[in-house]
Amino acid sequence: MLKSITKSVGLVALAGMTLMSCSKSNPDPAEPTDPTEEVGGNFAIKFSTDNGSFMLPVKDLMSGTISPVGAGTDVTSMFPWEENVIQKGKYFYSIDPNASKFGKYAFENGVLKTIQVIPFTKLTTLYIGWHSWLDDDRLAVGPRNSNEYAIINTKTMTVEANGSITSENDIPKDHSMRIYAFLPQGNKVVLGYCLYNNVTKVSYDVTYTGAVDYPSFKNFKKTGEDNRSAPVGPVRNGYFHKFKENGYTYLQTYTMPALGGGKNMPTGFYRIKDGDDKLDPNYFFNISQYQAGDNQLGVAYLGNGKALLISAHDTKNNVKEWNDWWYAAMWEYLIVDVNSQKVIKKLDFPLVSNSRSAVVVNGKAYIAVNDPKADAIYIWEYNPTTDKLTKGAKVLGGDADTPIIYNLD
């Protein structure tokens, strides 16, 4: 069954493993990057340190040394809850659960500045479980394990709608809906959800789909159910889990036990055809069956049906205590193809520590690799066309958590 989790993950989840067919090349050693030269870059990196969290813009991920020391903006108070940070283009958004505020931020002359902060009290709890962009400006958010939603216009910085989605006909008595996926489809929003029994305190390991009218969010109708994996979408906000490909939206399930998923269920991808309101009944890409039952987290979409994931290798033997989920060297990077429904590669890294940190630019992935046996965290470039890994910038100044990379374009 799904479990409710309240512990903060912080910067979660990395990966890597060995496949000799994937070649590596190392650049010549470089001098530390001058922080003043990083101003105005198209990337940003967020560090967690013993003295708080810092963020700085970066031009080049492939050379020199990147460090927040003396250069980064202290974002500890801006972003007090890691999973409540949402980024789109050059803008960052954050919900402060302590102050009940929603803020908008952007870099100016190398410093992350506050654009506007508004009161935000429209949800019962402000620890966000998911977000979805309805258009260029409108952001939908909802709490963990809840049927609530709020719609924020990030251009006007106003809350345009909020409420709860339910149905006397399609939601059984003494049960509640827990939303994990929120997918706009024309004049409808398709929901991926699970049911929670309020009496037995059990969330069923079944993925349900439903639809509501948009923009009214009324007339909820259950459209299907599937017991191959659940939940469809992450329990916590901030995890890559969906992308569009050839007329379908692919949705990754999050069965990782540490994140509240069903411990006996495989990780995989469902898909929904554009304009439809339910899962394709003839499609389920079971990734775990190719990885001896291991579960995976999403990292990034590479294009052409391929996605970069991280896989928790042999957790039965590698997880001895709770923190091992985040710090044990047990993660391996996988590239999967949703068209062929195959795991097509394990990247040539040793088992590494936790991270979900990567960006994709012009088809190339830039990955922050946290190898506990290395002298530092490094950025690595993976080129799917040439099947080549290239070692890039050295990252210093943070703690054991992996810094998060953002693409500001």
**pLDDT tens digits along 324-362:** 888 899 999 999 999 999 999 999 999 999 877 999 999
Q: Give pLDDT < 50 ranges for the chain.
A: 1-40
- CB of 371 closer than 8 Å to CB of 379: no
Looking at residue 2, what is its pLDDT? 46
Looking at residue 33, what is its pLDDT? 38
The CATH homologous superfamily for domain 23-407 is: YVTN repeat-like/Quinoprotein amine dehydrogenase (2.130.10.10)
Looking at residue 258, what is its pLDDT? 66
Looking at residue 259, what is its pLDDT? 65
Q: What is the DSSP string of 214-232?
A: TTT--S-EEEEEE-SS--B
Rounded Cα distance between 122 and 257, Å, is 30
Looking at residue 400, what is its pLDDT? 79
Rounded Cα distance between 382 and 389, Å, is 5
Rounded Cα distance between 403 and 377, Å, is 9
Looking at residue 13, what is its pLDDT? 35
Query: Closest Cα partner for 194 from 182, 179, 211, 181?
Result: 179
Looking at residue 390, what is its pLDDT? 98
**pLDDT tens digits along 285-313:** 999 999 999 999 999 999 999 999 999 99
Rounded Cα distance between 261 and 33, Å, is 41
Rounded Cα distance between 217 and 2, Å, is 26
pTM assigned to the model: 0.89
Looking at residue 38, what is its pLDDT? 38
